[in-house]
């Protein structure tokens, strides 16, 4: 019952991208170095993010990737589901799976669905933009201490 590091890497990469002033595409190599993430691994996650329509990427020399939307328009939920698949997707509630034996009136199925709903609701309410600005606040607060 935990999120994978893929999602952490993905979020960090998107935050990094959103924090860059430049409009030019940024290379995976560069992000990986800055965020201390295994390069070839991050590459794969970025590809997944592209397939999910969250980033654009340009191949070839001078290529790289950039956000496909405004940071405020990309939710954490989207990132997680792009990299980890559906959140809290128990076999019991995934339509394809071998249905609950209790089928129609299974209270546990309801419990899972409610949990899923709560979690998705929260994760869907936080955007990359939010994370960036929170990070800004924290960094600011940190500076006041060091003064």
Partner DNA sequence: CATAAATCCGACCGACTAGCTAGGAATTGA
Partner DNA sequence: TCAATTCCTAGCTAGTCGGTCGGATTTATG
Sites for a copy of itself among residues 30-69 (CB under 8 A) = 36
Told to check if 113 binds a copy of itself by CB under 8 A, we report no
* CA angle (36, 88, 98) in 5-degree steps: 130
| Contact stretch for a copy of itself (CB under 8 A) within 16-24, 43-51, 67-75, 136-144 | 136-144
And the tokens for 145? 């201490």
Q: Which is nearer to DNA, 46 or 131 (CB)?
A: 46
Q: How many helices (H) and strands (E) does the chain have?
A: 6, 2
- Footprint of DNA on this chain (CB under 7 A)? 4-6, 9, 27-29, 38-41, 43-44, 46-47, 50-51, 57-65, 84
Q: In angstroms, give the least distance from the CB of 101 to a copy of itself.
A: 6
And the tokens for 35? 């965020």
- Show the 3-state SS of 59-122: CCCCCEEEECCCHHHCEHHHHHHHHHCCCCCCCCCCCCCCCCCCHHHCHHHHHHHHHHHHHHHH
Q: Which is nearer to a copy of itself, 62 or 137 (CB)?
A: 137
And the tokens for 93? 């509630």
Residues that bind a copy of itself (CB under 8 A): 1-5, 8, 11-12, 15, 36, 76, 80, 84-85, 87-92, 101, 104-105, 107-108, 110-112, 114-115, 118-119, 122-123, 126, 131, 134-135, 138-139, 141-142
């Amino acid at each position: 019952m935990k999120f994978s590091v893929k999602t952490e890497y993905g979020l960090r990469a998107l935050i990094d991208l959103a924090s860059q002033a430049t409009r030019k595409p940024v290379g995976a190599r560069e992000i990986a170095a800055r965020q201390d993430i295994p390069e070839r691994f991050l590459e794969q996650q970025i590809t997944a993010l592209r397939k999910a329509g969250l980033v654009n990427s340009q191949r070839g020399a001078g290529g790289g990737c950039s956000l496909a939307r405004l940071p405020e328009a990309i939710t954490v939920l989207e990132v997680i589901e792009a990299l980890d698949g559906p959140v809290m997707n128990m076999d019991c509630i995934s339509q394809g799976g071998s249905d609950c034996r209790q089928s129609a009136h299974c209270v546990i199925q309801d419990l899972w669905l409610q949990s899923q709903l709560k979690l998705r609701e929260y994760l869907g309410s936080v955007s990359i933009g939010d994370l960036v600005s929170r990070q800004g606040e924290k960094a600011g607060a940190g500076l006041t201490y060091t003064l």
